[in-house]
Amino acid sequence: MSALHGKVVLITGGSSGIGRATGERLASMGCHVALLGRNREALDDAVRAVETHGVQGLATPADVTDSEQVKAAVDATVAKFGRLDILVCSAGLSMRAYFERSKLDACEQVMRVNFFGSMYATWHAIPHVKKTHGSLVAVSSLTGKRGIPSYALYGASKFAVTGLYEALRVELRRDKVHVGVVSPAFVDTPLRTNVLGPDGKPWETPPAPPFRVWPVRKCVDRIIRLIVGRKREALLPGFAGMLLGFDKLTNGFVGDRMLARRFPPEKS
């Protein structure tokens, strides 16, 4: 029997991509899963997939940028299952554009979804997760650990999530709450086909990633290992830690030059 059997999980961004795949994997391990997202039809379909594993699922339609809607989703989860053991913040919005060319309202929307969406869910979940000595997990990005040209706003939102969770790790240690961050590189999800440009609208043809795009299951593997092992961090790929260390040793000189070539300004 899995160590997570019987646990109750709430996942934001649960109707597709990393969120949905994580929900299905946790369901296969015996977890009851609540999925939060805006698309009710997609949520219902994801819940049906979760329930094929013999566990209970729950669709909680909500916009992560609305604190009251997120609170209602957390409350609905606790009302149905009687507890909340694990929160996974997976909702996200990608944007690839040089900062000076970007519209401010587009920048603000990325911050609302990626940072405030995680912040609201975490804030409302903390009282419940403290009771179960459970886990708070945020899906961040390698762009939240190293500045990447053309991902200034997306990276800033992920840096903010990482900073929040690093502080929470210390603040909640006495309450025996596990706080962890998963930072993947490019992952093959629907997010890849809905990358925003400088005007806040999806690119008609999304810019091609200059590095490998990893399968969703690899990211989910990292998330599960982080939760089961109650680890503070997981990277995808694993060797990214070595590269980040080398980047610091060279004061970013090598990384700056390489990234400037790999991520040139995109044409609007």
CA separation for the pair 157, 148 (Å, rounded): 12
Range 244-264 burial, b when 16+ CB lie within 10 A, else e: beebeeeeeeebeeebeeebe
Question: Which residue matches tokens 């992920």?
Answer: 158
Amino acid sitting at position 37: G
Q: Look at residues 8, 58, 7 and name the one whose alpha carbon lies nearest to residue 37.
A: 58
What is the CA 33 to chain-centroid distance, rounded? 16
Catalytic position from the list 120, 151, 154, 165: 154
CB 184 within 8 A of CB 17: no
- Return d(Cα 114, Cα 158) in angstroms, integer: 7
Q: Is 98 a catalytic residue?
A: no
Q: Which pair of tokens denotes residue 172?
A: 């909640």
d(CA 182, CA 67): 23
Which residues are marked as active site? Answer: 154
